[in-house]
């Protein structure tokens, strides 16, 4: 499976990039889309399913708790605004990728390659940092995605533990359930082709929608008046909302891999393209779950909305199993990003095809075991992963895309009165605030052992 189609940058060798910054090759007739050779390209529907599953994870269940820390009005406006900004940053990344592919005449670039190429072909005084920024991006991507994989392990095991204890009286610790999940998780991540995971992602999407539908069934019954909850929870609690929302909305790591693997990548962008359509659905889901969950349960809302559902109702408890299964099946999509960063570094040392095949399986197994070990050592990873998500998500989703756009198009200008430059600076400041607030909140949660934000 090719998650992204790297050019000569992937091997880490020297790249003959010509011409450099300021020339016109970026406007040449070279079309990277027409030069991609894919063995198993994904359709628009495949890409939409993967995009939804890459963005809708454990964070959606924490949105009512996030709204509690923001207030009904501020939470609604803030979530929609954050969705717009994150989606715009995804578009910026794809646009810069296409421009840099034309400039360097390679068919596709990954996230870190886009950043490296932008610096390498940018103004002379930033070219020396190209290798460093690529390493930084890869580190953040690995930390973020492997951190999410750890959260997925803990989330599935914790939900199984609660269901089995409630209905069958089993009092096994979460470690036993983590161990039960290890072998199936390894087998799932031996699937190398993203297209073959489409039925899995589709099934996960169906049960996620079903689980959310049942959750809405309970949330929408007997709704109180909006005056019974706070419109604005106060400045003191706003960082808690911001940290949770930033964690929940992170999906930029899968944008370029999905676009690079499409049969019709020209359908990815645009007002009615795959990206906008998918992110509108994601933003609507996050906003509605947060809005109605907080309105229904008010200050009593817990870290995961499923914890507020009737404990003795089988239909309500089935939501836990549905969401646990959906998150389990979504592990593979999150896993592809770090795998496709680490594998190219190892592959050159394996000469034969047989050695590369076994090496690929071994690395996949080791990475799954690594995330399992972290989850087993620290079952309550909530606050730690929240810190990782706040640091990495804010950096990847809100800080680096505008930096890349500024450097990529520096020689072309930024529109009337440099409005694009000012827009990018505003987004970077917004991302920096998210970085600071999210980290601050997460550190407080670690100190006080409050791990419910990532439930």
Give residue 128's pLDDT band: very low, low, confident or very high (50, 70, 90). very high
Give residue 88's pLDDT band: very low, low, confident or very high (50, 70, 90). very high
Give residue 85's pLDDT band: very low, low, confident or very high (50, 70, 90). very high
Q: Which CATH number belongs to the domain containing residue 256 in this structure?
A: 1.10.4160.10
Give residue 117's pLDDT band: very low, low, confident or very high (50, 70, 90). very high
Q: How far apart are CA 140 and CA 244, in angstroms?
A: 18
Q: Residue 230: CB partners within 8 Å, gap ≥ 6?
A: 71, 72
Asked whether residue 319 is assigned to any structural domain, the reply reads yes
Mean pLDDT of the chain: 81
Q: How far apart are CA 440 and CA 128, in angstroms?
A: 32
Asked whether residue 165 is assigned to any structural domain, the reply reads yes
| Predicted model pTM | 0.78
Asked whether residue 289 is assigned to any structural domain, the reply reads yes
Q: How far apart are CA 244 and CA 59, in angstroms?
A: 7
Asked whether residue 168 is assigned to any structural domain, the reply reads yes
Averaged pLDDT, 244-269: 81
What tokens does 323 get?
Answer: 């969401």
Q: Is the pLDDT of residue 383 over 70?
A: no
Averaged pLDDT, 170-181: 84
Lowest-pLDDT range of 18-27, 34-43, 76-85, 261-270 = 18-27
Averaged pLDDT, 302-315: 79
- What's the pLDDT at 379? 63
Asked whether residue 7 is assigned to any structural domain, the reply reads no
Nearest residue to 219 via CA among 167, 120, 297: 297
Could you read off the pLDDT of 327-347 as tens digits, one per residue? 888 787 778 778 888 888 888
- What's the pLDDT at 96? 92
End-to-end CA distance of the chain: 32
At residue 443, the 3 state secondary structure works out as: helix
Asked whether residue 270 is assigned to any structural domain, the reply reads yes
What tokens does 131 get?
Answer: 């290798």
Lowest-pLDDT range of 67-76, 96-105, 374-383, 417-426 = 374-383
Could you read off the pLDDT of 11-37 as tens digits, one per residue? 444 344 444 334 444 445 777 777 777
Could you read off the pLDDT of 269-287 as tens digits, one per residue? 888 889 999 999 989 989 9
Peptide bond into 19 cis (omega under 30): yes
Name the domain count of the chain. 1
Asked whether residue 9 is assigned to any structural domain, the reply reads no
Q: Is the pLDDT of residue 1 over 50?
A: no
Asked whether residue 20 is assigned to any structural domain, the reply reads no
Q: What distance lies between CA 282 and its chain's CA centroid?
A: 12
What tokens does 141 get?
Answer: 């991507």
CA distances from 15 to 104, 105, 130, 235, 263 (A): 9, 11, 12, 49, 27
**Site of tokens 């089935």:** 318
Instruction: Specify which of 192-206, 357-371, 408-422 reaches the highest per-range mean pLDDT.
Output: 357-371
- What's the pLDDT at 91? 92
Give residue 405's pLDDT band: very low, low, confident or very high (50, 70, 90). very high
Domain of residue 65 covers 25-447
Residue 168: exposure state from Cβ atoms within 10 A (0-12, 13-18, ≥19) = exposed
């Amino acid at each position: 499976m090719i998650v992204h189609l790297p050019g000569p940058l992937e091997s880490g060798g020297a790249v003959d990039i010509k011409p450099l910054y300021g020339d016109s090759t970026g406007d040449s007739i070279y079309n990277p889309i027409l030069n991609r050779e894919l063995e198993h390209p994904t359709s628009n529907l495949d890409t939409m399913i993967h995009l939804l599953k890459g963005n809708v994870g454990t964070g959606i269940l924490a949105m009512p708790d996030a709204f509690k820390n923001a207030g009904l009005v501020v939470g609604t406006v803030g979530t929609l605004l954050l969705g717009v900004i994150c989606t715009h940053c995804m578009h910026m990344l794809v646009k810069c990728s296409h421009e840099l592919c034309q400039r360097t005449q390679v068919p596709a670039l990954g996230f870190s390659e886009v950043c490296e190429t932008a610096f390498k072909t940018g103004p002379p005084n930033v070219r020396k940092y190209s290798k460093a920024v690529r390493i930084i991006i890869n580190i953040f991507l690995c930390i973020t995605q492997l951190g999410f994989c750890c959260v997925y392990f803990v989330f599935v095991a914790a939900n199984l533990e609660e269901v089995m204890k409630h209905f069958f009286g089993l009092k096994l610790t979460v470690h036993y359930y983590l161990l039960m999940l290890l072998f199936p998780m390894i087998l799932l991540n031996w699937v190398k082709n993203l297209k073959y995971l489409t039925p899995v992602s589709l099934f996960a999407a169906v049960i996620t929608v079903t689980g959310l539908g049942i959750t809405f069934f309970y949330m929408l019954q007997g709704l109180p008046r909006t005056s019974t909850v706070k419109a604005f929870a106060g400045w003191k609690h706003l960082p808690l909302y911001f940290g949770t929302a930033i964690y929940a909305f992170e999906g930029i790591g899968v944008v370029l891999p999905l676009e690079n693997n499409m049969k019709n990548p020209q359908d990815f962008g645009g007002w009615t393209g795959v990206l906008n359509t998918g992110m509108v659905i994601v933003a609507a889901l996050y906003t509605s779950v947060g809005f109605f969950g907080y309105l229904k349960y008010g200050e009593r809302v817990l870290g995961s909305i499923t914890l507020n559902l009737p404990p003795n109702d089988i239909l309500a408890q089935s939501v836990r199993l549905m969401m646990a299964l959906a998150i389990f099946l979504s592990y593979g999509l999150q896993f592809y990003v770090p795998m496709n960063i680490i594998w190219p570094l190892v592959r050159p040392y394996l000469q034969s095809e047989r050695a590369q095949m076994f090496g690929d399986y071994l690395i996949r197994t080791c990475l799954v075991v690594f995330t399992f070990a972290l989850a087993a050592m620290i079952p309550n990873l909530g606050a730690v992963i929240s810190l990782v998500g706040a640091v990495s998500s804010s950096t990847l989703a809100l800080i680096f895309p505008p930096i890349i756009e500024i450097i990529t198009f520096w020689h072309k200008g930024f529109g009337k009165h440099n409005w694009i430059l000012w827009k990018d600076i505003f987004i970077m400041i917004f991302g920096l605030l998210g970085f600071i607030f999210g980290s601050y909140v997460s550190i407080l949660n670690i100190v006080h052992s409050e791990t419910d934000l990532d439930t």
